[in-house]
Structure 1
Amino acid sequence: MRQIREIDESLRKEVGELIKKNWGSSAMISKDQVHYIDKLPGYVMMEDNKIIGLITYNIRDNQCEIVSLDSWISNKGIGSKLIGKVIEKSEELGCSRLWLITTNDNTRAIRFYQKRGFGISGLYLNSVVRARKIKPEIPLFGYDNIPILHEIEFERVLTDERIKNNLSRSYNHKADYREKSEIQDWKISEIDKVLRYMRKEEKIGLLDLGAGAGKQAKVFKNEGIDVTCIDISKEMVRLCKERGHRAYIMDFYNLVFEDESFDVVWSMNTLLHVPKSSIGKILKNIKRILKSNGIFYLGLYGGHRFEGIWEEDFYDPKRFFVFYDDEEIQEIVRDVFEIVEFETVVVGKDKPYYQSFVLRKKV
């Protein structure tokens, strides 16, 4: 029977021996920082009182670094389960980010981490050459006889992960409610605004970013537009497919489309779920998939500054929202796009007003 145990003093000697056997010494170097991994906190996977998996980590400045990860039985989910324990610990301690370093030869690790939601966040050329001066045991050649020269940094932003998981659950629970709701007249006016641009410029391909039940996408499709829908909620994607849309479970952090795939990206009240610390990265992702001279329609509730869980929300779990005042949001989008149109729309008494942008991809 397998179980995960936190490393304690009763395991420390055995862990140290395994580390030295697997890594040559207990010293591990990442970004010029020396770690002694036999002293670090971590977890082991046990089977019949034998260690078959090991992970160590280091927390500093509200960030958690995975320093080492080993599994002595392949393709059994051991590494994934150990990472899951470190994610739980990091979230419990309020860490904002989980990150790690691997080397350029370790193609297996590069695949492994990307499949588990980690993105490349840094490349440090020839850093292993410097590390070898501190730890001469580092070999010159690694997997497949590839020269070991560079460090690659991977990360998962934990705040964003929690928000995404909650949003997926919230919208899954409210699928029936969203299905029964009607498109308001002011939203139809915004769709018509974008359609005028598309007709004038003969643009056909549109990505609906956070398509919900696919009702707005249906309006575009009825006008002859080639629509692709994405949403973080599997139930919303199901509703989109029932309407005959091409639809995928996907979030705006990981847009897997090729560069310059779409004439237009449509986003009505979806990016208001993105933390302010991540909005710049999301806008650059959208710019990448837009064709030259492409249009990005961005609509957000706003008018004042707010970031956090909306405590009056009737969704379960309650959703995370971000609101901007006009000056703040215009400054943010202007870094990535040209502002073609900006206007505010009053959508109801005692409600935030709506900020409507037509943006153009900067060449």
Structure 2
Amino acid sequence: MEGIPMTSHRIDCRDWFIRLLKAEHRHSLFELGCGTGIEGREFVRAGLHYTGVDLSEESIHLARAKGLDASVASGLSLPFADGTFPAAWTMSTLLHVPNTAIHDVVSELVRVTAPGAPIAVGLWSGEDEEVLNPEDLDEPRRFFSRRSDETVRRVFGDHGTVEHFQTWPEGTGAESGPGAGNWTQHYQFLVLRTP
């Protein structure tokens, strides 16, 4: 259940974000959608205090087995006080949040991070459509809210300042995203700076 290996783009973004945190003297971060703790372990190796949450009890069990501070929680109701974390990270998670709830989840992320904190976000793009993944064989199939670059900038810009935004094209193999090649998409990586 370790999932797909991290792509070189994702590793580069993570390393860049770690350098940003260290340059700003931020010594810990929170991850929404931590999965089994693959990236959490790398943040800890970089000397950062790490806290992760995920909806999957099985994933949290595996993350804890790696020694990570991880718990089951929903992005709609995070079990932390206001301003607890100096930074946050969420990759390929918020694309599973429907448009009806995305502002609530981003508000929660902003709430639990300190004023002026950087929040790194990664998403797979789309044409502003909500769909079920055609490559999933088991029910329920995974839900995706596939947002355009313009929509992503607007949604996150409503909650702070989007100070970094980059994209890269979908590749093949490990560099490919969901949809089994049926979707035209690219990866979106941004940093939202909280007010």
Fold equivalence (TM over 0.5): yes
Matched residues, percent identical? 29
Q: Is the contact made by 1:241 and 1:247 (CA closer than 8 Å) also made in structure 2?
A: yes
For residue 115 of structure 2, give the secondary structure of its aligned residue in structure 1. Answer: strand
Scaled by the length of structure 1, the TM-score of the pair is 0.49
Scaled by the length of structure 2, the TM-score of the pair is 0.90
**1:222 counterpart (42, 45, 49):** 45
In the TM superposition, what is the alpha-carbon distance from 1:312 to its structure 2 partner?
A: 2.4
Residue 273 in structure 1 maps to residue 96 in structure 2: yes
**Map of 2:193 onto structure 1:** 360
- Tell me the amino acid that sits aligned with residue 61 of structure 2: R
CA distance in 2, matches of 1:190, 1:314: 31
**Map of 2:11 onto structure 1:** 188
Q: Is the contact made by 1:186 and 1:347 (CA closer than 8 Å) also made in structure 2?
A: no
Residue 336 in structure 1 maps to residue 159 in structure 2: yes
- Tell me the amino acid that sits aligned with residue 262 of structure 1: F
CA distance in 1, matches of 2:84, 2:75: 15
CA distance in 2, matches of 1:282, 1:315: 26
Q: State the Cα deviation string for residues 296-345 of structure 1 (Å, max 9, x = none).
A: 00110004222032232245431111011111111111111201100111
CA distance in 1, matches of 2:165, 2:119: 12
Residue 287 in structure 1 maps to residue 110 in structure 2: yes
Q: State the Cα deviation string for residues 205-247 of structure 1 (Å, max 9, x = none).
A: 1111100110111111100000001110000000100100011
**Map of 2:142 onto structure 1:** 319
Higher fraction of strand: 1
Residues 182 and 335 of structure 1, relative CA distance in 2, 3 Å threshold: same
Residue 309 in structure 1 maps to residue 127 in structure 2: no
Residues 221 and 347 of structure 1, relative CA distance in 2, 3 Å threshold: farther
**1:255 counterpart (69, 72, 78):** 78
**Map of 2:33 onto structure 1:** 210
**Map of 2:176 onto structure 1:** none
In the TM superposition, what is the alpha-carbon distance from 1:180 to its structure 2 partner?
A: 5.5
For residue 134 of structure 2, give the secondary structure of its aligned residue in structure 1. Answer: coil
- Tell me the amino acid that sits aligned with residue 151 of structure 2: E
RMSD value, Cα: 1.4
**Map of 2:178 onto structure 1:** none
For residue 321 of structure 1, give the secondary structure of its aligned residue in structure 2. Answer: strand
CA distance in 2, matches of 1:206, 1:359: 14
Higher fraction of helix: 1
- Tell me the amino acid that sits aligned with residue 354 of structure 1: Y
CA distance in 1, matches of 2:89, 2:30: 6
Higher relative contact order (Cα pairs below 8 Å, separated by 6+ residues): 2
- Tell me the amino acid that sits aligned with residue 191 of structure 2: V
**Map of 1:3 onto structure 2:** none
CA distance in 2, matches of 1:293, 1:257: 18
- Tell me the amino acid that sits aligned with residue 293 of structure 1: G
Q: State the Cα deviation string for residues 2-52 of structure 1 (Å, max 9, x = none).
A: xxxxxxxxxxxxxxxxxxxxxxxxxxxxxxxxxxxxxxxxxxxxxxxxxxx
Matches within 5 A, 1:6-155: none
Q: Which runs of 5 or more residues in structure 1 are unaligned? A: 1-175
CA distance in 1, matches of 2:68, 2:40: 8
Q: Which has the larger radius of gyration?
A: 1
